[in-house]
Every structure is written in structure tokens, then in C-alpha cells.
């Protein structure tokens, strides 16, 4: 127990009673309203508590109790499809306003059919699967917390309150409790080799992310971070998706809450929500809960990873999280370093992205949006994020303001995963050489675009003009992708390869015709078949991929005519 | 019974350090400070065992350590009543004309966050009569769409036109004036009338009153929106003054500053204002917000517009160059955006806006090029873009004083302008749109 001696915003100082020994990150219940908080610093006889709810109305002298645990979350069957706040309380709370000191943490409800996979008397390893609980088409695997002998286990109906097994001297339930700030173990890490497919061509084909990798999406406001994050959440082929709305706009969160339950999982045809956990913390919800929401989300992801699933975490936005950290450290009077951020900024960012990884069983992929102040990529959060993530999808204001989406700038973006996943792609077609061709053309295009901006397209010599047109064709026909068009919103890897093949075909013909006949570039590129190429992304759907062959034939016919 | 306490330890402009030995005030509590026959409201902003830090929300001139403090045991409130329509008030809900506190139900001005589950997603447009908004950056009921102004442009005229144009029998406008000069306040008060409620904290009012004002304004607006079922549009003008007042107070409190001296919690603070816009499930009304702020040094990356941009759903950015070319309103559409527009308009409207955006962006590139190599060196298509862009500013964006354009008219003008370009350039439009253009 303790009592309040000082209140300043979300930071409360507590005088600790004799005999009480709170430790760092211990959960505290503060004041008569019993607000939830966390111990963030301890001195002799004093503790500082960061409170997760608004502190208005607290008085000096009110009681503070320390309930003995670190901030933790209960994980178990039924957590998929749930929406939690930054503290792991289940939304919706009743009532149109969020009241303080209320809300219940997640706990599995009802009875479950447990199917044992091992027998009593067997020795199991830590993390080994003891059995399953199936719920809404999803297999929740119940893992052994220790390496020991299975003393008791049996299949059948259980309530969450009774153990399903006894391993060594531990009782195992259908649920487990995990502290959110402690990473699950990093044992059994393996090299990433499979792409996390998103259906977004500029990502999958040019700047891919691997299952178990990490990526950041930096972009000033209005460049389409949130739309991209939501698109990725909708289409990526992970088994489980954890979407963290960290300090985001209320209306946007509402859109997600409304949209997601309606969305169909493109892979199973069931509701997307059945394999999603949403963590909702809008910008006007308390700042401390915003800080914890990212840890909470990653803990949920690790729970499913340990079962062997591939999990994708989308965090929007990590800058809001860093800002929460800055706000709290400021309240505690910590000496700030650059731009007011605490000195621990980079290690905190690292600690998040380092929880991504591919493992013998399961993977956690983390995609974090970053909102650099003023769109300045050299600011601390973006800079440190760059250090600890493998793919970088830079959003560009100029592309966004001409409504070119996704506004991923192909020149500033990169991915270190391309080399790891190329074998996977090469089985579908000539990925490596198509990608190299595209990357080179884009590179050359960037140089030419600078010239065009200065001197005009007309000033380019004919052969350069042709290259410039090739660059524009790739941009328009391939990189630009409409998230609102029913056909264009998602491209399978096969379709991406076929589209790239069509484009390379066009490019080959253009160069051939130009070299052999010297026909003016404007004439070569303005053939009606090109407008078909520009529209192929919307007009050829996944069911009719053979139409690309037809298109290739048509292209050949048109340009053979020139050579006759 | 009113009990007054003596015990002020020290004073620092708006801040009172009160010795709290017997009284146990609550964090955030409303208090009154009395000296020389006047009583001024204040708020408890920090408490510890020995001292209570009180922020005076009024004029603190003449205050001494002899002043008395009265504790209310309540949070800060403002009166709300249907009788307020057509009247003007200060930050505490006192009528400007009489100086008397308005009689109404007292409601707390600092509100709890809206449960995201109880929000309704905005999808119904509000017609403002401006093509640059209705055609390209649609304002949606329940949205917060700020205006990023620049100094030297008469933003007050745009505010007046907007307020008078949006305000209809069914829509109530509430204007919160924050930290503006006397002459501009008078100018606004004279030209805005009818179905509007105005709240004023002038430049000469204490910073704390300017910080309170948006909350007062929004509390009254929420009453009409969520209790009376009215569509309310709140204009807060100018949020830059709000942030500067916040910085001033924060520095007096000796808080560790964030970017450019603004408090590190400014994001959360602004969010607690902006997030009060929205729709609530099962309620008829709506609260739409247009915060107006002047970008310091025209810098969109300055913390005030930057943090605002991350909370609000888009922005309308004004441009001094356009203003000098006499384009009214001088909205730079390339920097402007309405995030909620896509779900609130039909497919044609989306394509229309997207095509105009692409074409105008192309015009800007061509214009830059022309200034380097000269217009004669441009290709034929490029010259067409030049003509399109110039006429677009003059005929589409620019509007006559008081002109309120219908959406149909906005479409007509836009399509006519697009017909200046070769059909092959109109890649965002569908065949049927082009037909509509020829009709």
C-alpha cells in the first residue's frame, strides 16, 4: 500500500508504506477510483506511478495498492476477433464515453472441447503442444509451460477454470498469462525465406517483406500510411493479424471497427475478423495506454507464433507511441536528448522490432507506420526505425498529392529481403531477371525525370525519350494500384509475374522497332494496344490470367507490323 | 456556504502556489480566487503534499499574497441552453453584451474520450458552396477538416463566408474566436449573424482563457449536436494562438519543452480538442469541426500544423501566391486533402476529383518547366495543360464574393475545363464520364 503525495497529469508520486516493496513495472491501483497504473521509478520510500487513465479528481492522501504483477494479458481461445484497448481490456465498453476504472480484461468464456495430443507419462519439452481447442475454425494449441513429465491429461469438455493437464507440478489451463513487456523466448530462430504476400505489387515484387521480417512505412500526414496499413492487413497471407491503432484518429478507428468484421478473408472465405485481434487506442484516449498498446499487440502475436502460426503485426503509428514515451518522460522530469525524446528512444524502438522473427515454429512479422514530423525522414524516430527494420517503404508527398497510390517512392524505398525470398518467387517464373530489369529501368527513369523536370521531355534525344516512356509505363501500369478497385486492389504473385512479363515484352518490342526502323518514339508508344496494357491490371482478373497471353500476342502483332 | 482560504505562498503571473495544509483539493478542480472585490476562476493543475498549483483563468493584475481561494469540489463547467443561439459569449459562458453569466445547465468542459465503438463513421457530405471544397475536398458531417492559413491572407473573409454559407435552418454554426486582435473580432462579430453562437477570447485575454475557449465552445456545440440532434459545424479560429498560449502556460509551469518550446504533450492536448468532432451511434446530430490555424512562417512542418495534420482528417491549405493572383478562396489544392471524402461521395465524384487532381499536378510541373525553358519550347499537349491550369484557377477555384455554387455547377465547370485536354490524357475518367462531358 501507499498514498498519493503528488499528481501532475498522468504521473503520480506515491509514498510507500513500510514493508511494501514494489518493483519496476508492477501494476498499481491508484486512488478511490482505482485507476490502473504502472510503477516506472522507485526511490527510497517513494514510487512514481504512470497512470493509464485520466487523473482528474485524484487527491493527495488517497490510497494506492500494488497488486503484485506486471502489466499482463490473459491469452486463450476466443481472443481472435476481439477488440482490446491498450491495457488489454475488452471493448466495447458500454456507454458512449470511456469511463475510468472500468472494463474487464479478456478471459475465455464458455466451455471448450480439448483434444489431447500427448499421453500421461510422456515427457514433453517446454513449448511442446499438449493438445488443441478448436473454436470458430481455428486451432488454439495448448503448450506445455515446462519440460517435464505429463502427469495427467485427458480429452473432453473443460471450463477455462479447470486444468486440462498437469505437467510436472504445474497445472495447465486453456489460457495463459503473459507479461507484455517481456519478449517470448528467441530460441529456435531460423533464416527468413518465405515472402509475406500482400497483393501490393510495389511491395511484393519490388520491395518484399519476408515472414518474420520487419518493415517501416514512413510518411508525412496525407501520404496514405493508414490506407496502406489497412490494405496490408486485409490482404496479407498471415495466419493471424494483430492490428494496433496506436493514438490514431477516432473516426479512422471506427472505420476499422466497422470495416474489418465485414471483410472476407481472401484465403478462407470466412470473416477476416476471425483471425484478427484489434487493439484500439485513439489519440484522445489516455497517453500511457498508448505507450503500452504496442507491447500488448506484440505479446498477442508471440502467443500465436509459439503455436506455430505466422502472425503479422501492423502498428499505426509507432511515432504516436514514441511521442507518448516523450510525453511521459517529460512529466517525470527526465532530461531529454534530441527533439525532446528520452535517451532510451533507440533501444526502445529496437526492443519492439527485435521481437519480429521467423522460428522453427511460427513467425512474427512487424510492419510499423512512422509519422515523421513535417515528413522529415531524418528525425529521430524514423532514423532509428530505419536501423532496426529490413524493409523501408518510403511514402512520398509528391506522389500522394498527384493521387498516385500507393505513394511508395520507388527510389527511396528498399528491402533486404529480396535476396532471401527470390527462390520462392523463381518457382513461379522469371522473377529475378524481371525484377532486376524493372529496378534498373526505374533507376534510369529517375535520372531522366530530373532532366525532364529541368529541360522538358522534348529536349531528350529519341533513345532517351524511349527509356523515359518505358519508365512511365512501369509506373502507371504496374506500380500504381487502386485500393478501391475490386480487381486491382489485390494481385496474386502469378499475376504480378505475368504483368511484368507483358511490360518487358512491350519494352523489348519498342527498342527493336526503334532500332530497326527509327520510327519516332511518340508514334511507337502511342499505339492503342498500349492503353490496353495500361488497363490490364483492372481488366484481367485472377480467374482469367490466360488473357495476358492474348495481350502478348496482340502486342507482337502490332509491332511486327512496323517491321514488315 | 462559501468558504475562503488564505495561504498563498507565491505568485507567478497566472500561477498561484497555494499552501495546502488542511484542504485537500482534487487534481483538475475548479477554484475561485478573490482579491480587491473581484472573483476570478482558476483550475488546480498540480497537487502535492505541501502545495497546490492553481492556474488563474482570468486577469491576474493586482493580485497579492493576501488573495483568498475558494474550492468548489467540482471540475470546470460551462452553462448550456437552447437560448444561446444568436448570442456571443466569453470563455466562461458570460454574455459579451451584459457580462453576466448565462443561466443554463452546467456541464463539464473537459470531457472523457468518445468510445470508438459508439462512433458512427462519417459519410454524409456538407455542401459549403465552394468548388475547391465540394468538388475536390468534400467536408463530411462529423469530420474535422482544418484550414492551414498563411499570414497576409484575409482568412477572416473565408471564415465569414464559410460560416454564413454552411449555416442553414438545419445546421447550426458555432464559432470560437481564439486570441484574435480586437479589430478582427469586431469585424467578425459584425458580419456573422443568424443561426450562430460565438465565443470570444481576444488576444488581450489571458492565455488560460484562450486555452479554455475551444473546450467551452465544444461543450456547447456537443449539447446541440448530441442532445438536441442538430448538425453543428464548429469553427475554431485561430488554433495557432491556442498553441502559443499553451506554450506560454507550460513554460511558466517550468515543464520540459518538446519541439520548438511547445509542450511535449501538445499532441494529446490537441487530440482532446479535435477528437470531440464526430457522430455518435443512435444520436441524430453531428459535430463537424473546422479548426483554422495560421502556419508560422508559412511552414507546414511547424509543430502546430504538423501535429494538427496527424489528428485531423485532411486539411485545406491556403497559399499567398494564389491570394496575390486574386484567386478567392486561395486554396492550394495540391496540398489539400479530405480523408473522409472517398466514402462520402459517389464513384463519378471520386473519378472527377482524381482526374482534376492529376491534371492540375501535371499543370504545375509544366508551369515550372515553362518558366525554365520558355513556353514556346513546350510540346502541344503541354501547352494545353498550361491553358487548363490557368483557367482552372480562374474559373474553378476562384469564386465571386458571396457566390454559393451548387455541386452540379461545380461538376459542369470542372468537366468543361477537362475537355480542354486531349481524351487520351483523361486516364482517371471512365467512358461514360467522357460522354457526360460531351453532352
Give exposure, A243-262, as e/b (b: 16+ Cβ within 10 Å): bbbbbbbbbbbbbbbebbee
Show residues of chain B in contact with A249, CB under 8 Å: 275, 311-313
The domain over range B8-75 is classified in CATH as 2.40.10.170: yes
Domains of chain B, by residue range, sit at 8-75, 78-343, 347-437
Show residues of chain B in contact with A9, CB under 8 Å: 265
Which of B122, B275, B280 lies closest to A284 in CB terms? B275
Average pLDDT over residues A81-96: 84
DSSP per residue over B67-98, as a string? -EEEE-SS--EEEE-GGGTT-EEETTSBBTTT
**CB proximity under 8 Å: B 104-123 to A:** 110-122
Sequence-ordered strand ranges (E) for A305-443: 310-316, 357-359, 363-370, 391-392, 414-415
CA A67, A71, A75, A81 torsion: positive or negative?
Answer: positive
Closest CA to A410 of A428, A430, A386, A392: A392
Looking at the domain assignment, is residue A93 inside a domain?
A: no
Question: Does A463 score more than 90 pLDDT?
Answer: yes
- Say what the pLDDT of residue A71 is: 87
CA dist., res. A519 & res. B90, Å (int):
74
Peptide bond between residue A404 and the one before it cis (omega within 30 degrees of 0): no
Show residues of chain B in contact with A323, CB under 8 Å: 264, 267
Q: Which residue of B has its CA nearest to A320?
A: B267
Do A449 and A535 fall into the same domain? yes
Cβ of B258 within 8 Å of Cβ of A531? The answer is no
Peptide bond between residue B373 and the one before it cis (omega within 30 degrees of 0): no
Do A497 and A352 fall into the same domain? no
State whether residue B424 sits within 8 Å of chain A by CB: yes
Query: 3-state SS string over B236-288?
Result: EECHHHHHHHHHHHHHHCCCCECHHHCECCHHHHHHHHHCCCEEECCCCCEEE
Do A263 and A379 fall into the same domain? yes
State whether residue B261 sits within 8 Å of chain A by CB: no
Show residues of chain B in contact with A457, CB under 8 Å: 379, 382
Looking at the domain assignment, is residue A517 inside a domain?
A: yes
Question: Does A456 score more than 80 pLDDT?
Answer: yes
Cβ of A336 within 8 Å of Cβ of B256? The answer is yes
Which of B26, B143, B310 lies closest to A57 in CB terms? B26
Average pLDDT over residues A516-536: 92
Select, from the ranges A50-54, A139-143, B115-119, the one with the highest average predicted confidence (pLDDT). Answer: A139-143
Do A311 and A207 fall into the same domain? yes
- Say what the pLDDT of residue A263 is: 83
Sequence-ordered strand ranges (E) for B307-415: 314-317, 337-338
Average pLDDT over residues A74-85: 93
- Any idea what DSSP says for residue A126? T
Sequence-ordered strand ranges (E) for B284-358: 286-294, 314-317, 337-338
From residue B364, how far is each of B70, B332, B372, B386, B388 by CA, in Å? 62, 11, 13, 8, 11
Q: Which stretches within A480-520 are classed as H helix? A: 493-517
- Return the CATH number of B78-343, one of 3.50.50.60, 3.40.50.12240, 3.40.50.150, 3.30.160.60: 3.40.50.12240
CA B83, B86, B91, B96 torsion: positive or negative?
Answer: negative
| Whether A74 contacts A175, CB under 8 Å | yes
Do A203 and A307 fall into the same domain? yes
CA dist., res. B234 & res. B240, Å (int):
16
- Say what the pLDDT of residue A250 is: 87
3-class secondary-structure state, position A64: strand
- Say what the pLDDT of residue B37 is: 86
Do A438 and A352 fall into the same domain? no
Average pLDDT over residues A56-76: 90
Cβ of A374 within 8 Å of Cβ of B301? The answer is yes
Cβ of B117 within 8 Å of Cβ of A257? The answer is yes
Which of B113, B306, B337 lies closest to A284 in CB terms? B113
Instruction: Extract the C-alpha cell encoding A262.
Output: 465485414
Digit-coded pLDDT (tens) for A538-551: 999 999 999 999 99
Show residues of chain A in contact with B334, CB under 8 Å: 401-402
Q: Which residue of B has its CA nearest to A227?
A: B339
- Closest CA–CA distance from residue A427 to any residue of chain B (Å): 35
CA dist., res. B145 & res. B152, Å (int):
22
Average pLDDT over residues A50-68: 87
- Say what the pLDDT of residue A484 is: 82
* Longest Cα–Cα distance in chain B: 85
Which of B46, B350, B362 lies closest to A8 in CB terms? B46
Do A507 and A367 fall into the same domain? no
CA dist., res. B314 & res. A246, Å (int):
19
Digit-coded pLDDT (tens) for A371-389: 888 788 899 999 999 999 9
**CB proximity under 8 Å: B 284-343 to A:** 299-303, 306-307, 309-315, 334-335, 337, 339-340, 342-343
Show residues of chain A in contact with B143, CB under 8 Å: 251
Average pLDDT over residues A334-361: 90
Closest CA to B149 of B6, B317, B30, B35: B317
| Whether A90 contacts A103, CB under 8 Å | yes
Cβ of B20 within 8 Å of Cβ of A336? The answer is no
CA A64 to chain CA mean position, Å: 37
CA A434 to chain CA mean position, Å: 27
Q: Of the given ranges (A9-23, A86-100, A454-468, B95-109), which has the lowest mean pLDDT?
A: A86-100
CA A344 to chain CA mean position, Å: 23
Do A366 and A395 fall into the same domain? yes
CA dist., res. B291 & res. B289, Å (int):
6
Do A198 and A313 fall into the same domain? yes
The secondary element (H helix, E strand) that includes residue B178 is strand B171-180
- Closest CA–CA distance from residue B266 to any residue of chain A (Å): 9
- Closest CA–CA distance from residue B130 to any residue of chain A (Å): 20
Q: Which residue of A has its CA nearest to B278?
A: A251
Show residues of chain B in contact with A6, CB under 8 Å: 46-49
Do A201 and A326 fall into the same domain? yes
- Say what the pLDDT of residue B438 is: 62
Looking at the domain assignment, is residue A82 inside a domain?
A: no
From residue A143, how far is each of A109, A146, A462, B63 by CA, in Å? 19, 9, 66, 68
| Whether A511 contacts A504, CB under 8 Å | no
Residue A458 dihedral angles phi and psi, to the nearest 5°: -65, -25
Strands A276-282 and A240-248 turn out to be parallel
Which of B27, B267, B311 lies closest to A249 in CB terms? B311
Looking at the domain assignment, is residue A182 inside a domain?
A: no
- Any idea what DSSP says for residue A459? G
Cβ of B340 within 8 Å of Cβ of A251? The answer is yes
| Whether B396 contacts B333, CB under 8 Å | no
| Whether B373 contacts A455, CB under 8 Å | yes
Question: Does A422 score more than 60 pLDDT?
Answer: yes
From residue A488, how far is each of A483, A529, B5, B348 by CA, in Å? 7, 19, 70, 18
Do A370 and A227 fall into the same domain? yes
CA dist., res. B86 & res. B100, Å (int):
16
Closest CA to B142 of B228, B226, B79, B227: B226
Show residues of chain A in contact with B116, CB under 8 Å: 91, 250, 253-254, 257, 280, 282
Mean predicted lDDT score pLDDT of chain A = 91
- Say what the pLDDT of residue B437 is: 63
State whether residue B382 sits within 8 Å of chain A by CB: yes
3-class secondary-structure state, position A180: coil
CA dist., res. A215 & res. A210, Å (int):
9
State whether residue B374 sits within 8 Å of chain A by CB: no
Show residues of chain B in contact with A91, CB under 8 Å: 115-117
Show residues of chain A in contact with B301, CB under 8 Å: 220, 373-376
Q: What is the mean pLDDT of each successive set of 10 residues along chain B, which is 439 residues long?
A: 84 87 86 91 90 87 92 91 94 91 90 87 94 96 97 93 87 96 96 91 91 96 96 97 94 83 90 95 95 95 92 95 94 92 92 93 92 87 95 96 91 94 86 72
Looking at the domain assignment, is residue A396 inside a domain?
A: yes
- Say what the pLDDT of residue A91 is: 81
Looking at the domain assignment, is residue A92 inside a domain?
A: no
CA dist., res. A276 & res. A81, Å (int):
5
Show residues of chain B in contact with A5, CB under 8 Å: 48-49
Full residue range of the structural domain in which residue A275 is found: 189-412
Select, from the ranges A39-43, A253-257, A398-402, the one with the highest average predicted confidence (pLDDT). Answer: A39-43
Q: Which residue of B has its CA nearest to A248?
A: B311
**CB proximity under 8 Å: B 168-197 to A:** none
3-class secondary-structure state, position B150: coil
* Longest Cα–Cα distance in chain A: 98
- Say what the pLDDT of residue B439 is: 56
Cβ of B113 within 8 Å of Cβ of A98? The answer is yes
Query: 3-state SS string over A183-217?
Result: CCCCCCEECCCCECCCCCHHHHHHCCCECCCEEEE
CA A112, A116, A119, A124 torsion: positive or negative?
Answer: negative
Looking at the domain assignment, is residue A420 inside a domain?
A: no
Cβ of A55 within 8 Å of Cβ of B47? The answer is no
State whether residue B414 sits within 8 Å of chain A by CB: no
Count of domains for chain A: 4
Domain limit, last residue, from A130, A149, A174: A174
The rounded radius of gyration (Å) of the Cα atoms in chain A is 27
Other Cβ atoms less than 10 A from the Cβ of B95: the count is 14
Other Cβ atoms less than 10 A from the Cβ of A493: the count is 19
Interface-testing mutation among A284, A339, A453, with chain B (most B C-beta atoms within 10 A)? A284
The rounded radius of gyration (Å) of the Cα atoms in chain B is 25
Instruction: Extract the C-alpha cell encoding B275.
Output: 477528437
Show residues of chain B in contact with A61, CB under 8 Å: 24
Do A243 and A144 fall into the same domain? no
Show residues of chain B in contact with A99, CB under 8 Å: 112
**CB proximity under 8 Å: B 54-93 to A:** 75
Closest CA to B27 of A5, A235, A179, A291: A5
Place of cell 486463450: A76
pTM of the predicted model over 0.95:
no
Amino acid at each position: 500500500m501507499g498514498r498519493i503525495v503528488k499528481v501532475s497529469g498522468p504521473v503520480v508520486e506515491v509514498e510507500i508504506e513500510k514493508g511494501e516493496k514494489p518493483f519496476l513495472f508492477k501494476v498499481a491501483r491508484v486512488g478511490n477510483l482505482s485507476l490502473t497504473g504502472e510503477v516506472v521509478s522507485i526511490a527510497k520510500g517513494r514510487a512514481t506511478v504512470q497512470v493509464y487513465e485520466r487523473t482528474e479528481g485524484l487527491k493527495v492522501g488517497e490510497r494506492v495498492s500494488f497488486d503484485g504483477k506486471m502489466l499482463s494479458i490473459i491469452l486463450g481461445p476466443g481472443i481472435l476477433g476481439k477488440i482490446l484497448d491498450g491495457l488489454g481490456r475488452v471493448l466495447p465498453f458500454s456507454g458512449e464515453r470511456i469511463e475510468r476504472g472500468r472494463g474487464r480484461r479478456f478471459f475465455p468464456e464458455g466451455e471448450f472441447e480439448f483434444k489431447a495430443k500427448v499421453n500421461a507419462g510422456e515427457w514433453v519439452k517446454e513449448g511442446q503442444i499438449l493438445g488443441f481447442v478448436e473454436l470458430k475454425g481455428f486451432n488454439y494449441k495448448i503448450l506445455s509451460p515446462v519440460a517435464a513429465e505429463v502427469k495427467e491429461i485427458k480429452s473432453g469438455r473443460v471450463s477455462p477454470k479447470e486444468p486440462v493437464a498437469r505437467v510436472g507440478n504445474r497445472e495447465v489451463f486453456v489460457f495463459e498469462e503473459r507479461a507484455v513487456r517481456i519478449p517470448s523466448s528467441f530460441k529456435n530462430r531460423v533464416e527468413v525465406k518465405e515472402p509475406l504476400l500482400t497483393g501490393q505489387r510495389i511491395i511484393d515484387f519490388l520491395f518484399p517483406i519476408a515472414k518474420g521480417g520487419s518493415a517501416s512505412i514512413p510518411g508525412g500526414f496525407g501520404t496514405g500510411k493508414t490506407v496502406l496499413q489497412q490494405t496490408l492487413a486485409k490482404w496479407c497471407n498471415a495466419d493471424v493479424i494483430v492490428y494496433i491503432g496506436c493514438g490514431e484518429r477516432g473516426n479512422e478507428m471506427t472505420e476499422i471497427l466497422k470495416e474489418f468484421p465485414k471483410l472476407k478473408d481472401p484465403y478462407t472465405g470466412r470473416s477476416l475478423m476471425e483471425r484478427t485481434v484489434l487493439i484500439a487506442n485513439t489519440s484522445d484516449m489516455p497517453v500511457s495506454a498508448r505507450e503500452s498498446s504496442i507491447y500488448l499487440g506484440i505479446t498477442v502475436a508471440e502467443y500465436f507464433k509459439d503455436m506455430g502460426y505466422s502472425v503479422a503485426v501492423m502498428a499505426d503509428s509507432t511515432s504516436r507511441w514514441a511521442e507518448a514515451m516523450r510525453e511521459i518522460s517529460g512529466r517525470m522530469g527526465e532530461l531529454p536528448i534530441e527533439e525532446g525524446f528520452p535517451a532510451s528512444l533507440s533501444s526502445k524502438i529496437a526492443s519492439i522490432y527485435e521481437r519480429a522473427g521467423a522460428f522453427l515454429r511460427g513467425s512474427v512479422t512487424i510492419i510499423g507506420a512512422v509519422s515523421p514530423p513535417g515528413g522529415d525522414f531524418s528525425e529521430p524516430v524514423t532514423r532509428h526505425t530505419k536501423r532496426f527494420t529490413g524493409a523501408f517503404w518510403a511514402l512520398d508527398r509528391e506522389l500522394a498529392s498527384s493521387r498516385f497510390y500507393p505513394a511508395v517512392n520507388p527510389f527511396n524505398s528498399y528491402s533486404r529481403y529480396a535476396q532471401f525470398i527470390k527462390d520462392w518467387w523463381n518457382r513461379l517464373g522469371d522473377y529475378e531477371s524481371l525484377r532486376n530489369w524493372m529496378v534498373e529501368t526505374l533507376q534510369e527513369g529517375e535520372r531522366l525525370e530530373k532532366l525532364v523536370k529541368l529541360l522538358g521531355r522534348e529536349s531528350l534525344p529519341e533513345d532517351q525519350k524511349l527509356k523515359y516512356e518505358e519508365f512511365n509505363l512501369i509506373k502507371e501500369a504496374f506500380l500504381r494500384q487502386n485500393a478501391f478497385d475490386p480487381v486491382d486492389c489485390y494481385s496474386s504473385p502469378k499475376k504480378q509475374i505475368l504483368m511484368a512479363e507483358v511490360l518487358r515484352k512491350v519494352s523489348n518490342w519498342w527498342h527493336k522497332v526503334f532500332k530497326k526502323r527509327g520510327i519516332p518514339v511518340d508514334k511507337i508508344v502511342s499505339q492503342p494496344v498500349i492503353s490496353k496494357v495500361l488497363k490490364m491490371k483492372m481488366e484481367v482478373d485472377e480467374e482469367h490470367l490466360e488473357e495476358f497471353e492474348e495481350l502478348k500476342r496482340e502486342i507482337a502483332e502490332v509491332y511486327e507490323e512496323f517491321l514488315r | 456556504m462559501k468558504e475562503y482560504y488564505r495561504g498563498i505562498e507565491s505568485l507567478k503571473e497566472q500561477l498561484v502556489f497555494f499552501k495546502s495544509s488542511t484542504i485537500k483539493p482534487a487534481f483538475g478542480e475548479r477554484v475561485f480566487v478573490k482579491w480587491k472585490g473581484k472573483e476570478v476562476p482558476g483550475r488546480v493543475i498540480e497537487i502535492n503534499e505541501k502545495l497546490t498549483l492553481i492556474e488563474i483563468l482570468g486577469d491576474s493584475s493586482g493580485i497579492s499574497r493576501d488573495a483568498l481561494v475558494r474550492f468548489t469540489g467540482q471540475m470546470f463547467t460551462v452553462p448550456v441552453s437552447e437560448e444561446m443561439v444568436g448570442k456571443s459569449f466569453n470563455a466562461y459562458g458570460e454574455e459579451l453584451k451584459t457580462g453576466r453569466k448565462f443561466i443554463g445547465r452546467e456541464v463539464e468542459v473537459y470531457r472523457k474520450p468518445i468510445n470508438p465503438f459508439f462512433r458512427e463513421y462519417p459519410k454524409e457530405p456538407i455542401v459549403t458552396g465552394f468548388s475547391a471544397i465540394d468538388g475536390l475536398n468534400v467536408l463530411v458531417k462529423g469530420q474535422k477538416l482544418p484550414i492551414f492559413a498563411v499570414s497576409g491572407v484575409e482568412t477572416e473573409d473565408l471564415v465569414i463566408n464559410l460560416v454564413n454559407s454552411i449555416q442553414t435552418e438545419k445546421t447550426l454554426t458555432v464559432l470560437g474566436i481564439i486570441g484574435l486582435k480586437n479589430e478582427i473580432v469586431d469585424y467578425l462579430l459584425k458580419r456573422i449573424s443568424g443561426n450562430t453562437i460565438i465565443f470570444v477570447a481576444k488576444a488581450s485575454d489571458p492565455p488560460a482563457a484562450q486555452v479554455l475557449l475551444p473546450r467551452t465552445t465544444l461543450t456547447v456545440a456537443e449539447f446541440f449536436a448530441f442532445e438536441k440532434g442538430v448538425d453543428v459545424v464548429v469553427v475554431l479560429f485561430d488554433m495557432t494562438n491556442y498553441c502559443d498560449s499553451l506554450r506560454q502556460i507550460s513554460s511558466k509551469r517550468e515543464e520540459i519543452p518538446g519541439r520548438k518550446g511547445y509542450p511535449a504533450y501538445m499532441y494529446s492536448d490537441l487530440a482532446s480538442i479535435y477528437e470531440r468532432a464526430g457522430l455518435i451511434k443512435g444520436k441524430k446530430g453531428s459535430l463537424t469541426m473546422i479548426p483554422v490555424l495560421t502556419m508560422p512562417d508559412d511552414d507546414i512542418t511547424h509543430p502546430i500544423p504538423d501535429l494538427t495534420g496527424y489528428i485531423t482528417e485532411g486539411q485545406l491549405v491556403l497559399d499567398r501566391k494564389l491570394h496575390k493572383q486574386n484567386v478567392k478562396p486561395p486554396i492550394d489544392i495540391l496540398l489539400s486533402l479530405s480523408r473522409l471524402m472517398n466514402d462520402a461521395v459517389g464513384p463519378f465524384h471520386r473519378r472527377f476529383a482524381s482526374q482534376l487532381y492529376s491534371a492540375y499536378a501535371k499543370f504545375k510541373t509544366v508551369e515550372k518547366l515553362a518558366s525554365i525553358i520558355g513556353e514556346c519550347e513546350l510540346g502541344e499537349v503541354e501547352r494545353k495543360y498550361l491553358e487548363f491550369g490557368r483557367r482552372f484557377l480562374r474559373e474553378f477555384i476562384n469564386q465571386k464574393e458571396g457566390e454559393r455554387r451548387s455541386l452540379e455547377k461545380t461538376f459542369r465547370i470542372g468537366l468543361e475545363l477537362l475537355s480542354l485536354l486531349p481524351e487520351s490524357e483523361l486516364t482517371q475518367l471512365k467512358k461514360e464520364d467522357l460522354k457526360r462531358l460531351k453532352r
